[in-house]
Each structure stands twice: as C-alpha cells, then as structure tokens.
Amino acid sequence: MSFNHLPSITPEEVADRLNQGQSVVMLDVREADELSEGHIEGAQHIPLGQLVERYKELKAAEEIIVMCRSGNRSGVACELLTEKGFKVLNMSGGLSAWTDESLFNK
C-alpha cells in the first residue's frame, strides 16, 4: 500500500454536507470498543481488521467517506478500498478533529 495522493475531506466539510441534508455514505473503521466514545449517526461500522472480508457489504458505485479516530487507519482502509475499485475520501484528522456535537452521538 502506497498512500499516494489519497483524496481527503475535512471533518468540517463532512459536517457541512450532513447539515445541508446531502446523502453521505460514511464508513467508520474503528474497533467496536471505540464506538462507545461516540459516532456519527448513519455511519456504517466495519473495523479495519475485518474490511478485507467484509468490503463487499459496501457499494462501489457510491462515494464513501472513511473515518477512524485520527485518520491513519482510515487511510489504510481507503488504500484497500481504492484497490478494489471504490471511490473513497479519507476524513483527515479523524473523529478526534470532529467539532459538530449536534451530529455526534455518544
């Protein structure tokens, strides 16, 4: 995996899309125990360690915003999904950089 120029999106841009009512496909690749720290409603959860086996649960025709805690694991997930033909955006800074509390469920 090379991480060459993975397209990214900021947490603020994701929040703007959601607040404008846009249909946004999101994938959270954190571990199950991390979900108790909070999550964005509507994000599909597939831990990074299970993504190789479960990526077919996703629709390749849709743009997918991939997130984790800091943006590192989601970068790995984006690389894997790109190799499988998916159009993905890595949420830079991850959920640690998320500021819109109205969209964040704890």
In the chain, the domains with their CATH numbers are 8-105 (3.40.250.10)
| Phi–psi pair at 101, nearest 5 degrees | -65, -25
The answer to whether residue 68 is catalytic is yes
Q: What is the mean pLDDT of residues 30-45?
A: 94
Q: Which one of the listed residues 18, 68, 80, 89 is annotated catalytic?
A: 68
pTM: 0.93
Q: According to the model, what pLDDT value does residue 103 have?
A: 87
Name which residue leads in pLDDT, 31 or 5.
31
Mean pLDDT of 50-65: 96
Continuous segment of H or E residues that includes residue 35: none
Collapse the DSSP code of 64 into the 3-class scheme (helix H, G, I; strand E, B; otherwise coil) and give the result: strand
